[in-house]
Structure 1
Amino acid sequence: MSAGEALGTVSAVTVGRVLLIGASVGLAAVGIRVSRRDTGPVGRPFLVLLGLLSTTALCLGVTAGAGTANKMIWLGTNLAIPAALLAVSCRYYGITFVDSRPRLAGVVAPLVAGGLGGGLIILGTTAQTSGTAAPVGALAGFPPLVYDVATRLTRFGRYYTASLVVVAVGIVAVNAGRYEHLDARLAVALAFGGGWPWLGNFVVPELGAAFGPDAAIGALAGGYVTSLAVAGLAIGPLGLFDSSPAAGNIGPNHALDSMDDTVIITNNEGTVLRLNAVACDRFETTPQASVGQKLSTVVGHSPSALSGETPVTIETADGARQFAVTRSAVTDNRDIDRGTVYVLRDVTKKQNREQRLEVLNRVLRHNLRNDATSIIGRAQLISDGDGGADSAEEIIDTTRDLVGVAESARDIDQMMAATQADKEVELDPIVQRVTETIGSSYPAVEVTTAVPADTTVAASKQVIETILRELLENAAEHNDADQPYAIVSAERTGNGSVTLAVSDNGPGVPDHERAVLDAGEDQLQHGSGLGLWAVHWGVTRLGGKLAISENTPRGTTVTVTLPTTSASESTPAVPEQAES
């Protein structure tokens, strides 16, 4: 080689190194500018990307691509740059699949493995050095198996970074096509800014081997100078921080989670694919635990059971609730069904309010009509001189019944309007107060209690008192036994709930009264009063359950199960036919 040719080679390499150092300084300047701006969530990963590009360019400019330090820096930045590009793409377009720590760890772990393997090859072997000894002699003594594993990890790291670049560029390409108002040049700029160093890692060594160091340095200099120009355009005219379409991708997720209704999406086989935050709270689950499960496993009902027009009763974290279900088919652009969206709107309060109005209306209308007719008839007899004291007594009794119905209606209204402000209330004082009142009103009935002193429930005192009073009064008033009695007991179950039971030795709850609770307001004409309805609505108010069982040889036990936490309003508590 002549002196002129050598000088030309040196000059070409020198120019390339100067350009690389200049690109490094320029990229650092762009990074400083970015750090001083309000760049939102995109700014930090973009700043990291700029820092990695600047560091790599500076290292190449100073070392001309030679030396152990250069190899190590080159290894680290070329593993990290694809990850930074992926972070920029995800943040810019609102892709959140790497936002959780476990997923982020899953993305980073292969990079760390590749870095460890590549570092061991660089420092412990002569594979990437021009000398005859390993840069770190202490590492050279490792057995061949260790270096075999290191080689595989290094190769895996390269393939993995390739996949990161493909995913990142794919996100850019897909979203560039989706949002046509964005400048397509920005998508190209993002893809080049992070993709070029990774591509250069494969291309530049081949250029150097084929055409010499001047070609390699020239390609590197050209690439990083172009990266500088692209970065400047991205934060300037192309508006990287001014036109982020992230809301278009995040918005649907936010809208889904901000809905008050329960939303569950399944495929055509009824497997849950997605559910919103309300659904997770309702059914005490998480997306990780529910996705992939059958709909019936998550909500306790099959898809066919959620297809009717009438509200469906579903057990939730707040007790039994009633939901109006709306089903919508999920179709693709060829109108092929891909799944179903279930929207469950809680209509418990509405259903209960309508039921109460209907029940109160029918009971009051029924009792007023019958009792008024009776009063008029008895009064007519007295007027005609045929009634006497018996007719007057009948009028008094009938009027008292009417007043009792009106007072029951008032008590129910107050009970349903009671707040759930009480947190933990003791049962025993309430039980003692109610039993004393019933005992004085029905002295012939022996009323006993078996309530542990420390038994507490999360509920309203007024609601519990109304439930207990109605149950005890029903047990005492209709008890025709020779030695009538009523027992109030309570205990805490294994799951933390509390059962409150009222047992008697009376004739039992008539079938027509049970039919009232079983069938609802359509069977109201069979009911004679508001007592069991008050119990029914009170248990509903607390989100509990009601069970009626027969005693042996006679009598009834009514058991109220109260949840561990207070519920605002639940669905009607349908009595369960428990075994005696």
Structure 2
Amino acid sequence: MSVTLLAIDLATVGTVCLLAVVGLRERDRPGALVASGLWLVLAVVAAGAVTARLGLLPIRLALALALGGWLVAVPLWAGFVFAYTSRGPALTRRSALLAVGYVAVLGLGLLWSSTAGETAGGFVQVVIAALQTLLLGVGLFGVFLVVRAWRIDTGLSGGQALGLSLGGICLTLLLFTVSTLDTLAAETIPPTLSAVLATAAFGFATSTVGAALFEDAPATGPLARQSVLETMREAVVVTDREGRLVDANAAAERTFGIALGSDAGRAASAVVGHDLDDLTDETVTIATPGGTREFDVGRSVLTDRRGETIGRSYRFRDVTDRQTRRQRLEVLERVLRHNLRNDLDAIRGFAEALSDGVTDDPDTVTDRIDAIATDLVEIGETVARAEQVMARNSLECELVDLEVLAAEVLTGTDNEAVESTITVTGRKRPLRTDREILRTALREVVANAVEHSSPSPTVAIDIERRDEGARIAVRDDGPGIPARERRVLLDGEENPLRHGSGVGLWFVSWAVTRLGGDLAVRTPDEGGSEVILTIPDRSESGR
């Protein structure tokens, strides 16, 4: 019997027992209770080596105890790291049961393989080797998370990281060699077992007692940052120094359709749909799964403790509604300042002419007054409809049969001489959207087409159903929408020198934006005008 090895084993037992007491005392801290269980397992393994060296326990039982300890210690080590750093899988009852089942299957397999000897089949040996390798990988992953918590999360000091990594490597790699021992033929406890246990105990002791392991758990930083990110309404995207996607909060996942499991590591610009290296202080327009949206984007450089750039974070604030409100104010200001004032001036002029008896055709003047007043009433009704639609707090999505909806809109036109057609291409399936907003917008487009066409207008509605939504094109045979009107609408702003003449198309633009879609206006070569509404199909998630 080697007195030195016995002394080392005794010191190991005392050290890990002390650590287990510390873990129990700090059991309210993240990972402390799991760490206490880990150190108790190491204490049992070391105590088995002591009793075997004293001749109180058969060598083969002590080695079997060491093998069983390795099987239990590695999952406990991984569980401690997951809880302590708040990285990796969450510790739940289900994951604990899976770990217990895995250890039991592997332990029984190793026991049967060692007792069966050459009678154990080759397939069984391969399966056991694969299970051992998987357990090895779990342990090394725990070491990786410790190093990450030190280098990236900055939640661990160098001493804590070094001690924990040393203990984790000993558990994972060196205790792994115990599984290769022939426990039935061994005649002594190998010195490597004592060295492994002593080194692991030393590493855990220096990180726990000397470096105050449980005073400030590194999980605090990631948990706090994650909590803040997940509660933010703005979409946040994090990239590495190469511009690859590293992380995104829930708002970003909803806004840009990000799936971190598959999108992490891809170029963030491709995932977001906009070149992140070409951002300016101006509002940017990005085509998202929920439609074209406008964002104010803030950028921050991420640095490590040495001040070196390790990545960037981008905050996307959706200002689409704000931009729409600004447009509404501009249009309403123009209605009051230009349309209303000019039309009232015209009415007053015609009324004065009638009152003074200076007109030769009173009926014509009366008709002009009536037409102007009717136009003002229509503008007022359109503004009221726009306010009613835009004032709704949320969309009321339902499945809408677009062909039936288009037929309803065409049937509701005031002009009975309208010649209309409806064409549907693609899969004939309902679109999930807000029926009332879409119906009102489509009715406004059709009414505008009928009003500005010939006495017997022709209106065609082409519906193209796509996987991601629908494209609804309304064509007429009228004079077409003036280029100035199209420019103002597509630029999205009015001013005293450049403004439209009505409210209808603005209302359609706001309604389509509210649905998360896009609006386009074009003049076909064969004449007339074409207004195109692209509406996304909103899923049950409400995206």
Partner of 1:518: 490
Q: CA deviation at 1:238?
A: 10
Q: Which range moves more in the overlay, 355-364 or 22-31? A: 22-31
Partner of 2:399: 424
Partner of 1:74: 66
CA distance in 1, matches of 2:331, 2:541: 21
Give the AA of the match of 2:263: S
1:409–1:566: structure 2 CA closer, same or farther, 3 Å change rule?
farther
Partner of 1:138: 118
Q: Would the aligned equivalents of 1:543 and 1:566 in 2 still touch at CA under 8 Å?
A: no
TM-score (norm 1): 0.71
Q: Would the aligned equivalents of 1:24 and 1:57 in 2 still touch at CA under 8 Å?
A: no
Partner of 2:410: 435
Partner of 1:560: 533
1:293–1:96: structure 2 CA closer, same or farther, 3 Å change rule?
same
CA distance in 1, matches of 2:489, 2:320: 16
Partner of 1:473: 447
Q: CA deviation at 1:314?
A: 0.7
Partner of 1:131: none
CA distance in 1, matches of 2:438, 2:164: 65
Q: Would the aligned equivalents of 2:441 and 2:507 in 1 still touch at CA under 8 Å?
A: yes
Counterparts of residues 467-546 of structure 1 (less than 5 Å): 467-480=441-454, 483-493=456-466, 495-522=467-494, 525-546=498-519
CA distance in 2, matches of 1:319, 1:282: 10
- Structure 1 residue corresponding to 2:87, chosen from 76, 83, 96: 96
Q: Would the aligned equivalents of 1:420 and 1:568 in 2 still touch at CA under 8 Å?
A: no
Give the AA of the match of 1:425: V
Counterparts of residues 162-181 of structure 1 (less than 5 Å): none
Partner of 2:28: 39
Q: Is 1:271 matched with 2:260?
A: no
Counterparts of residues 198-347 of structure 1 (less than 5 Å): 244-305=217-278, 307-333=279-305, 335-347=307-319
SS of the equivalent of 1:548 reads: strand
SS of the equivalent of 1:521 reads: coil
Partner of 1:383: 355
SS of the equivalent of 2:285 reads: strand
CA distance in 2, matches of 1:21, 1:566: 59
CA distance in 1, matches of 2:134, 2:410: 77
SS of the equivalent of 2:239 reads: strand
Q: CA deviation at 1:302?
A: 1.4
* 1:308-352 per-position Cα deviation (integer Å, ceiling 9, x unaligned): 222111111211111001122334455544443221111111111
Q: CA deviation at 1:214?
A: 11
CA distance in 2, matches of 1:19, 1:153: 34
Give the AA of the match of 2:516: G
1:142–1:557: structure 2 CA closer, same or farther, 3 Å change rule?
closer
Give the AA of the match of 2:230: D
Q: Would the aligned equivalents of 1:20 and 1:58 in 2 still touch at CA under 8 Å?
A: no
Partner of 1:403: 377
In structure 1, list runs of 5 or more residues that go unmatched: 1-8, 125-134, 205-211, 571-580
Q: Would the aligned equivalents of 2:389 and 2:437 in 1 still touch at CA under 8 Å?
A: yes
Q: CA deviation at 1:412?
A: 0.9
- Structure 1 residue corresponding to 2:388, chosen from 414, 431, 438: 414
Give the AA of the match of 1:74: A
- Structure 2 residue corresponding to 1:366, chosen from 331, 338, 342: 338
SS of the equivalent of 1:368 reads: helix
SS of the equivalent of 1:509 reads: coil
Partner of 2:183: none
1:157–1:309: structure 2 CA closer, same or farther, 3 Å change rule?
closer
Q: CA deviation at 1:458?
A: 2.3
SS of the equivalent of 2:373 reads: helix
Give the AA of the match of 2:369: I
Q: Would the aligned equivalents of 1:311 and 1:324 in 2 still touch at CA under 8 Å?
A: yes
Q: CA deviation at 1:566?
A: 7.1
Q: CA deviation at 1:497?
A: 1.8
Q: CA deviation at 1:261?
A: 1.4
Give the AA of the match of 1:558: V
1:267–1:560: structure 2 CA closer, same or farther, 3 Å change rule?
same
TM-score (norm 2): 0.75
* 1:362-386 per-position Cα deviation (integer Å, ceiling 9, x unaligned): 1232111211221121122122211
1:162–1:264: structure 2 CA closer, same or farther, 3 Å change rule?
closer
- Structure 1 residue corresponding to 2:49, chosen from 43, 55, 60: 60
Q: CA deviation at 1:405?
A: 1.1
CA distance in 1, matches of 2:135, 2:528: 80
CA distance in 2, matches of 1:52, 1:462: 66
Name the larger-Rg structure. Answer: 1
CA distance in 2, matches of 1:198, 1:528: 76
Q: Would the aligned equivalents of 1:542 and 1:568 in 2 still touch at CA under 8 Å?
A: no
Q: Would the aligned equivalents of 1:264 and 1:272 in 2 still touch at CA under 8 Å?
A: yes
RMSD: 5.3
Q: CA deviation at 1:529?
A: 0.5
Q: Would the aligned equivalents of 2:291 and 2:517 in 1 still touch at CA under 8 Å?
A: yes
CA distance in 2, matches of 1:251, 1:176: 12
CA distance in 2, matches of 1:119, 1:234: 33
SS of the equivalent of 1:514 reads: helix
CA distance in 1, matches of 2:222, 2:483: 58
Q: Would the aligned equivalents of 1:516 and 1:526 in 2 still touch at CA under 8 Å?
A: yes
Give the AA of the match of 1:437: G
Give the AA of the match of 1:248: G
Q: Would the aligned equivalents of 2:147 and 2:165 in 1 still touch at CA under 8 Å?
A: no
1:282–1:172: structure 2 CA closer, same or farther, 3 Å change rule?
closer
Q: Would the aligned equivalents of 1:82 and 1:164 in 2 still touch at CA under 8 Å?
A: no
Q: CA deviation at 1:504?
A: 1.8
* 1:147-200 per-position Cα deviation (integer Å, ceiling 9, x unaligned): 9x99x99999999899679658757987999678x9x8x999978987887899
* 1:271-322 per-position Cα deviation (integer Å, ceiling 9, x unaligned): 33333332222222222433332232112221343x2222111111211111
CA distance in 2, matches of 1:456, 1:310: 38
Q: CA deviation at 1:218?
A: 13
CA distance in 2, matches of 1:203, 1:497: 59
Give the AA of the match of 1:50: W
Q: CA deviation at 1:557?
A: 2.9
Give the AA of the match of 1:411: R
* 1:115-143 per-position Cα deviation (integer Å, ceiling 9, x unaligned): 89x959x976xxxxxxxxxx645349989
Counterparts of residues 339-358 of structure 1 (less than 5 Å): 339-358=311-330
Give the AA of the match of 1:258: T
Aligned residues: 517
Q: Would the aligned equivalents of 2:20 and 2:35 in 1 still touch at CA under 8 Å?
A: no
